[in-house]
Amino acid sequence: MLGLAAVPSAWGQTEPDDEALTALGEAARYQPSVSIATGSSQPLRRAPAVATVITADDIQRMGATDLTEVMETVPGVHVSHNNQGYGPLFVFRGLYSQFNPQTLVLLNGMPLTTMFLGNRGNTWAGYPLENVSRIEVIRGPGSALYGADAYAGVINIFTKSASDIDGTRLGVRIGTQVTRAGFVQHSTQWGPWDVAASLESSSTHGQRKRIESDAQTHLDGLYGSQASLSPGTTNAARDNHVAQLDLRWDKAQVRAGVLQGDHIGMVTGVAGALDPHTYGKTRRSHAQFTLTDVELAPQWRGSVSLSGMNSITEYPRGLMLYPPGAFGGEFPQGMYGAPNTWEAQWRGAMQATYSGFAGHALKLGLGVDDLDLYRTQEFKNFALHAGGAPTRLGDGAVVEVPGADSFLLPHRRRARHAFVQDEWRLARDWTLTAGLRRDLYNDVGGSTNPRVAVVWDASLDVTAKLLYGHAFRAPSFTELYSINNPVLVANPALRPEKIRTLEAALAWQAQASTLLQVSVFQYDADDLIVPIGNPQTYTNAGTQTGQGIELEARHTVSPRLTVSGHSAWQRSIDAATRQDAGHAPRHHLYGRVDWTGPADWQFSLQANAVAGRRRVVGDTRPPVPDYTTVDTTVRTPRQGRSWELALSVRNLFNANAREPSLYAADGVPTVAWPNDLPLPGRMIWLQWRRTL
């Protein structure tokens, strides 16, 4: 950072000349605004956080169709996959966990978290991007503003309003793996309301990747059986449907929608054994009302937000945990279970901003949450016994068990919070942002999380930041209250996980078309919830430290050619073993080229390299192999016509990319998938879009 500071620039310049102002205006085109850092819109370069903004244009150029594809392009973030259902894990800066509850995903500011597992749910079928206007990402703690689970990072998905659609748009997409998708969007005026509506539907058979051995292979060795379905192929089929409505009138906005996933294959299975036959489904119905920037009194402005979400997860035919013949023939029809859940979440918040103090923007806020897992239901044909193999219930038919014999009883969580934040303009080039939030839960106590950020506009083209913050993650209902599982025992005395992070960042607009950024970080995480002992019980026993550096660059070679990319390095250490915490890449390199060719055709090429993934202590397998994938997208000219075609190839060279499978030190089997979890191979899609 000192080296960059020594580069000749306008360090002492107080009154920019005309040429500098022109360059600054040109550079502003590459620096979108961001609201995720403080709750108010401001230029990204000056935001008091290490943040990234992905616009709708970025999404189209890179050929991304799902949130997972976008997040893999964010510095310091890697998308891995869950060993239980293959759900995406948004791993920020080396903080890896099986269910990824340490990353908060928001939809227009509303959390998509389920209380059951503390994440997006094991039947998360992805989030399509056709109706997304932009995605904002914070790398680092966000609990001082967003509360629980804004631990390692925050992702806020913003959907399109009437001004983003402007008329009627429709399109269809076809691709390999029997992929089909279609969408329609429309905007209009309804009295004083600006109205936008969107409907998107897709289906795919998904990847069919070969699995050589699984958990049942290991059990076959113990029991002398041949029940395993491996070698076999994964089942990654899914149907996705998204309907959204956006109404806006002056400062009031109403949003409502449904996210539904049907026929969701379990890919590699949920218990370590291949499951080609059973499927899950999920539905999230949501509604939001916001009233923003209303004058309350002289120098006081206020906002209010209300939201509700109903989330349902079901396995209509049950989940095949192990195939027919498992456990020495104890289950001739297979071992099945179906943990179904229903949740209702209501959230309300209000805030007021006072500008009566010179140079200050003082923000105060209050909020309440009512998070109710109001129904649970389990179908199964087995019983678990401490220290022994599962046994068949009755004749092996899958039956609904009484609530007291199921995996979890209904539970309800109520939470309150209050926060204060001050953005203080210390001097012309200095801004101090300080905040404090207190969250209080009826089941796990309270958590207080401060943040401090200093932003210095060192010159017209250099901005430096120093950031410090605390964050927490509330225990999930599974960790607190699960029952009838003698292998993995809940603990109602759990406390929230905690993390403290120190960051420094520097952005240098080397010239109007060249932006260089560097950020360094160090964190200390403790009270991590991990299963220990025999039987394994969830306990606040984990401690992890990490540090790293992220380099970003963007250069516009000409009006038709732009190159961008980033390189991230991190190392996370488990304090108990003093060894690498495992699974997350130590090195991550990404590059992208966007070129507008002859006749205004658009071409994009991107490469993504993932390296340095270590195993956890005790796992003697070689390190997870590195991989590099290449994607390319070509699009017809946009100007002068009402339609366009796009062709995209993902994983162009069909790289054998894999994500780490977990190692269970005290479980059986030790490793469910010895050869790890396969990522999709080459995929091609063609899309037609028209504006009416």
User: What is the share, in percent, of the chain residues with pLDDT greater than 90?
Assistant: 83
315-327 mean pLDDT:
92
Q: Are 593 and 562 in contact (CB under 8 A)?
A: yes
Which domains are assigned to the chain? 2-183+194-329+341-691 (2.40.170.20)
How many residues belong to the chain?
A: 692
Please determine, for residue 93, whether its predicted confidence score (pLDDT) is greater than 80.
yes
Q: Are 497 and 46 in contact (CB under 8 A)?
A: no
Q: Are 423 and 361 in contact (CB under 8 A)?
A: yes
Q: Choose the most confident range, by mean pLDDT, from 10-19, 71-80, 665-674.
A: 71-80
Strand, coil or helix: 403: helix
297-313 mean pLDDT:
96
Strand-pair partners of 241 = 201, 260
Q: Render pLDDT for 560-577 as a digit per residue (tens, 0 to 9).
A: 999 999 999 999 999 989
CA–CA gap between residue 446 and residue 496 (Å, rounded): 8
DSSP track, 150-176: -SSEEEEEEE--HHHH-SEEEEEEEET
Spatial neighbors of 259 by CB under 8 A, at least 6 apart, are 127, 241, 242, 282, 283, 284, 286
* Phi, psi for residue 620 in degrees, rounded to 5: -90, 0
* pTM for the whole structure: 0.94
Please determine, for residue 19, whether its predicted confidence score (pLDDT) is greater than 80.
no
User: What is the share, in percent, of the chain residues with pLDDT greater than 70?
Assistant: 95
Q: Render pLDDT for 643-672 as a digit per residue (tens, 0 to 9).
A: 999 999 999 999 999 999 988 754 444 688
Q: What value does the mean pLDDT of the chain take?
A: 92
Nearest to 329 by CA among 222, 487, 484: 222
Nearest to 503 by CA among 155, 153, 229, 63: 153
CA–CA gap between residue 201 and residue 184 (Å, rounded): 9
* Phi, psi for residue 396 in degrees, rounded to 5: 95, 0
- Rounded to the nearest 5 degrees, what angle is found at the Cα of 326, between the Cα atoms of 322 and 327? 120
Among the residue ranges 114-128, 585-599, 624-638, 669-683, the one predicted with the least confidence is 669-683
pLDDT at 386: 78
Confidence bin at 535 (pLDDT 50/70/90):
confident
Strand order in the sheet with 51-55: 51-55, 132-139, 153-159, 103-107, 110-111
Please determine, for residue 80, whether its predicted confidence score (pLDDT) is greater than 50.
yes
Among the residue ranges 24-28, 614-618, 638-642, the one predicted with the least confidence is 24-28
Confidence bin at 383 (pLDDT 50/70/90):
very high
Nearest to 477 by CA among 529, 542, 525, 402: 529
Place of tokens 């509303």: 110
Strand, coil or helix: 673: coil
Q: Residue 130 has which token pair?
A: 């056709």
Q: Render pLDDT for 469-489 as a digit per residue (tens, 0 to 9).
A: 999 999 999 999 999 988 889
| Separation in Å, CA 435 to CA 39, 417, 492, 613 | 12, 13, 30, 36
| Separation in Å, CA 271 to CA 9, 80, 266, 538, 563 | 58, 18, 10, 19, 43
Confidence bin at 28 (pLDDT 50/70/90):
very low
CA–CA gap between residue 260 and residue 312 (Å, rounded): 9
Q: Render pLDDT for 581-608 as a digit per residue (tens, 0 to 9).
A: 999 999 999 999 999 999 899 999 999 9
305-329 mean pLDDT:
94
CA–CA gap between residue 79 and residue 120 (Å, rounded): 14
Classify the C-alpha dihedral 458-461-462-468 as positive or negative: positive
Residue 462: CB atoms within 10 Å:
21
Q: Render pLDDT for 337-380 as a digit per residue (tens, 0 to 9).
A: 999 999 999 999 999 999 999 999 999 999 999 999 999 999 99
pLDDT at 665: 53
Please determine, for residue 23, whether its predicted confidence score (pLDDT) is greater than 80.
no
Confidence bin at 642 (pLDDT 50/70/90):
confident
Cα end-to-end distance, the chain, whole Å: 50
Confidence bin at 31 (pLDDT 50/70/90):
low
Q: Cα 557 vs. chain centroid, distance in angstroms?
A: 32
* Phi, psi for residue 478 in degrees, rounded to 5: -60, -45
Confidence bin at 7 (pLDDT 50/70/90):
very low
pLDDT at 317: 83
CA–CA gap between residue 128 and residue 18 (Å, rounded): 44
Nearest to 214 by CA among 227, 225, 230: 230
pLDDT at 670: 65
Of 499 and 7, the structure prediction assigns the larger pLDDT to: 499
CA–CA gap between residue 135 and residue 71 (Å, rounded): 9
pLDDT at 240: 95
Q: Are 217 and 228 in contact (CB under 8 A)?
A: yes
Characterize the bridge pairing of strands 643-650 and 683-691: antiparallel
